[in-house]
Structure 1
Amino acid sequence: MVDQKPENKRVLLGMSGGLDSTMSALLLHKQGYEVHGVTLKTWHVNSEKQEKDLIKAEQLAHKLGIDHSIFDISSTFKKNVVDYFCDEYLRGRTPNPCNRCNPMIKWPRLMEMADAFDCRYIATGHYVQKVKTNNKWYIKKGVDPSKDQSYFLWNLNQDILNRAIFPLGKLTKEEVRELALSNGLENVADQKESMGVCFLDNLNYRDFLQKKHDDREIDIQEGEIVNESGKVIGKHQGIPFFTIGQKRGLNLEDKSYRVIDLDSENNRVVVSKTANLETSQLTLKSFYLSESLYENEAEEVHIRIRGLDKVPPIPGRITHIEGGLNVIFDVPAWAITPGQSIVFYQNDLVIGGGIY
């Protein structure tokens, strides 16, 4: 068991070798925490790059004077995140691997290691805050709207949040970069920031899926493009290469068509020139809420349908109904795609979310 006494200021920090986790280590150390860095070795497209990142994380930990460990979870990660990612696209859905990895792989593993190293707390370099209200912990948006990562942590439970620390939540990215420079870590401050899905190493997901197909690890089949009445008007190279609202890549003579449905059962891409892709309401069957809702009692929320983008949350209501959670948008949302995470906020606090 972890020592629960207040004087236990040992903290396990997830370290990637990048700017954010390195500065988290520095801030925690300055705040009097005894930091133990840990890097999780996951599955990556570019294994050579990952090996370099592991070495970099180890070297930075040594430079900061903190202990560091590397744990290989690549097999579990590939099975539960990478394979899931591929399977979802094959089903015509748009997965968010972070929202699967965080509650299923990353945080539970960090919890186990924190216990093993007698660490009371667990820290990461996420740009979010944590607040306690009504005797419960909540994720709160980070102060930097361009870096806020609260969307990706909607399904963390109270056991995890109770021990979590987010040192960067009250800082902007630029302030974090300046902190690195002022502490003589120019190489860290100048690192190019990785974008998108972590295990793709900046590779386009369509190219990744194509390579998996070429290597015969997954089977992507060609099929028909049909209009709303079911008339065949073209051919597609594979359902995983399309998403709702997409126009590019259809290779149709009439360029005004866009995707309105991905029929994986019949391997068809359904397109339209006139269909309305705005959604006023939907029902979530898979969801998590920090507070219980009485059936048929509406709760006012702000709803976010995508992660790091500039689209502001949409005001709306959620109601617990038989068989799921009813979500009503005050302003219709455009091109919601099956597989996406829908996240709910109240006063910038994450109160839950679900997978469409």
Structure 2
Amino acid sequence: MKNVVVGLSGGVDSSTAAAILHDQGYSVVGLTLWLMKGKGQCCSEGMVDAAQLCEQLGIPHHIVDTRESFQENIVDYLVAGYSTGVTPLPCSQCNKAVKFSPMLQYAKETLGIDRIATGHYARTRYDIATGRHQLLRAVDRTKDQSYFLYDLSQDVLARVIFPLGEQAKTETRRVAAAFGLHTADKPESQDLCLVEANGSMRAFLDKYITPQSGDIVDQAGNVLGQHEGVHHYTLGQRKGLGIAHSEPLYVVALDAANNRVIVGDRTATLAPDCTVQRLNWVSIDAPTTPIRAEVQIRYRSSAVPATIIPLESDRVRVVFDEPQSSVTPGQAAVWYDGDVLLGGGIIDR
């Protein structure tokens, strides 16, 4: 019998993934990571729903206390970034450092199982020509989560199963209902787990960063208003500036060193290129010459044509065919060839 450890958050996606594999004849073990205290999935509420699912399916359920790792790799990582005017992307960091690799390690070392699965919407395949395990977008583009998975290692991709990658979200709920899962109608999480647990990202950050008022200035340095903390803002932000002006203003830079938020018109948010560091080449080997690809710089944005130019020190320069708005340091830039995720990294300029 095939054995697999399924990561369970307590939501409908992971629950359905476990039920599908169980129905396919896998010997399934449920594993829930205790990331933090509080409400929402990945927390106390999610653990209860995950435990109920395992009881319903008649499978073992393990809970691993990963709060210390989550604090170090996600909370401290976010606080450090926002304190310096960077807007970090927690989800890809969490998937790599807190979830997938530790899950696989626990599965192997504690349970003697070398396969894991999750309810993410993505696909994998092995490419004989390159000898690499490739990561692909989900069939349902509206739910595709490959952007958040770009930093997974070849070892993880070789051993992970994504049962939902070939189906639409509507199908997931239909399957969950058909299996009689109590999570079938559970509302979908709309925010980051930290936002769910703290009420808002502002409330979360204010627990760790003391708000310090300062100036909102235009690009010439003229003071237009006041802010209550640089960490409350992100590039491209338009709402919540509290400034009356003849034309819409957007955040175009965060000057944490001088405690200033810099604003400008929409054209000032456009960037022709960016540099990207902390690279992970997924479906292809790292190129030594420029390549063409479609690059996605935010989860909800479309991938756009660009040229990726290798630089020294494991970095690349991404040159967009057309300037892009709100290219944000700390966020991920991920490049694709159609559905195939080639690689990605963190925007540093």
Shared fold (TM-score, shorter chain, > 0.5): yes
Q: Cα distance, 1:193 vs. partner? A: 0.6
Partner of 2:303: 313
Deviations 1:181-230 (A, max 9, x none): 12223x311101112212321732123223x1xxxx32221111122122
Q: Cα distance, 1:154 vs. partner? A: 0.2
Partner of 1:167: 163
Instruction: Name the SS of the counterpart of 2:183 in structure 1.
Output: helix
State the one-letter code of the partner of 1:168: L
Deviations 1:72-115 (A, max 9, x none): 11122112101211221222111111111111111121012111
Partner of 2:258: 266
Give the one of 26, 34, 43 matched to 1:41: 34
Q: Is 2:189 the partner of 1:194?
A: yes
Q: Is 2:202 the partner of 1:206?
A: yes
Partner of 1:231: 222
Partner of 2:8: 15
Q: Is 2:143 the partner of 1:150?
A: no
- Work out whether residues 344 and 353 of structure 1, in 8 Å CA contact, stay in contact via their aligned partners in 2: yes
Which piece of structure 1 moves more, 22-31 or 151-160? 22-31
Structure 1 residues 70-219: aligned runs within 5 Å: 70-115=63-108, 116-133=110-127, 134-185=130-181, 187-201=182-196, 203-210=199-206, 212=207, 217-219=208-210
Once residues 61 and 274 of structure 1 are traced to their aligned partners in structure 2, the CA distance between those partners, rounded to angstroms, is 50
State the one-letter code of the partner of 1:178: R
Once residues 176 and 292 of structure 1 are traced to their aligned partners in structure 2, the CA distance between those partners, rounded to angstroms, is 34
Once residues 275 and 22 of structure 1 are traced to their aligned partners in structure 2, the CA distance between those partners, rounded to angstroms, is 45
Q: Is 2:211 the partner of 1:220?
A: yes
Once residues 190 and 292 of structure 1 are traced to their aligned partners in structure 2, the CA distance between those partners, rounded to angstroms, is 42
Partner of 1:3: none
Instruction: State the number of aligned residues.
Output: 340
State the one-letter code of the partner of 2:243: L
Instruction: Name the SS of the counterpart of 1:62 in structure 2.
Output: helix
Percent identical: 37
Judged with a 3 Å threshold, the aligned counterparts in structure 2 of structure 1 residues 277 and 49 are, in CA distance, closer, same or farther, namely: closer
Once residues 103 and 240 of structure 1 are traced to their aligned partners in structure 2, the CA distance between those partners, rounded to angstroms, is 25
Which TM-score applies when normalising by structure 1?
0.90
Q: Cα distance, 1:160 vs. partner? A: 0.7
Once residues 148 and 33 of structure 1 are traced to their aligned partners in structure 2, the CA distance between those partners, rounded to angstroms, is 25
- Work out whether residues 140 and 150 of structure 1, in 8 Å CA contact, stay in contact via their aligned partners in 2: yes
Runs of at least 5 residues in structure 1 that lack an aligned partner in the other structure: 1-7
Runs of at least 5 residues in structure 2 that lack an aligned partner in the other structure: none
Partner of 2:54: 61
State the one-letter code of the partner of 2:317: N
Instruction: Name the SS of the counterpart of 1:199 in structure 2.
Output: helix
Instruction: Name the SS of the counterpart of 2:76 in structure 1.
Output: helix
